[in-house]
Amino acid sequence: MGLLSDPNRRRALINLLTRLNAPICVVCYMAGVAWFMGLAFEPFTLRTYMSENAMGSTMVEERFPSGERAVATGREFAAHKKKVSGMPVEWLVKTMQARGLEVYTQRFSRTLPFPDENKERYMVKGTNVYGILRAPRAPRTEALVLSAPCTPGDNNNQAVGLLLGLAQYFRNQIYWAKDIIFLVNDHDLIGMQAWLEGYHHTNTTGMDWSPLQGRGGSIQAALSLELSSDVVTSMDLVLEGLNGQLPNLDLANLFYAFCQKIGVLCTIQGKLQRNDWDSVSGYSHAVQTMMLMVMKQASGRPWGDHGLFLRYHIEAATIKGINSFRQYKTDATTIGRLLEGMYRKLNNLLERLHQSYFFYLMPSLSHFVSIGYYMPAFGLLAVILLPGVLSVLTPLVISHLTGAALYMLPIRFQEMAVEHFPVSETEAVVLTAIAVYTAGLALPHNTHRLLSGEGTEQGWRVLKLVALLYLAVLLGCTALINFSLGFILALTLVPAAAFVTPHVPKVLSAFVLVILSPACTLLFSVFFFQELQEMPVSFLDGWLLYLSVISQGILDHFLYGSLVYPLIALLVYPCWLLFWNILFWK
Give least dist CB 44 to another protein, A: 20
The b-or-e profile of 117-151 (16+ CB within 10 A means b, else e) is bebeeeebebbbbbbbbbbeeeeeebbbbbbbbbb
Angle between helices 425-439 and 396-412 (to 10 degrees): 170
Give least dist CB 52 to another protein, A: 10
Shorter beta-carbon distance to another protein: residue 174 or 280: 174
Q: Within 13 A of 123's CA, how many CA atoms are on the CB side?
A: 0
Give least dist CB 485 to another protein, A: 22
Shorter beta-carbon distance to another protein: residue 133 or 498: 133
**Residues at the contact surface with another protein, assessed by CB under 8 A:** 1-7, 100, 102, 134, 136-142, 171-174, 200-202, 214-215, 217-218, 311-313, 350-352, 354-355
Give least dist CB 202 to another protein, A: 6
Shorter beta-carbon distance to another protein: residue 8 or 275: 8
Give least dist CB 241 to another protein, A: 14
Q: Within 13 A of 18's CA, how many CA atoms are on the CB side?
A: 9
Shorter beta-carbon distance to another protein: residue 64 or 580: 64
Give least dist CB 242 to another protein, A: 12
The residues, ordered by sequence, that sit 6+ positions from 326 with a Cβ below 8 Å of its Cβ are 233, 234, 265
Shorter beta-carbon distance to another protein: residue 17 or 393: 17
Q: Among candidates 537, 517, 519, which has minimal Cα distance to 527? A: 537
Give least dist CB 352 to another protein, A: 5
Backbone angles phi, psi at 150, to 5 degrees: -95, 100
Give CA–CA dist 545/542, Å, rounded: 5
Which DSSP string corresponds to 225-272?
EE--SSSBSEEEEE---GGG----HHHHHHHHHHHHHHT--EEETTB-
Give least dist CB 141 to another protein, A: 4
Q: Among candidates 194, 182, 186, which has minimal Cα distance to 222? A: 182
The residues, ordered by sequence, that sit 6+ positions from 64 with a Cβ below 8 Å of its Cβ are 165, 166, 169, 333, 336, 337, 339, 340
Q: Among candidates 145, 323, 111, which has minimal Cα distance to 235? A: 323
Shorter beta-carbon distance to another protein: residue 244 or 444: 244
Shorter beta-carbon distance to another protein: residue 48 or 233: 48
Three-state SS letters, 142-154? EEEEEEEEECCCC
Shorter beta-carbon distance to another protein: residue 111 or 203: 203
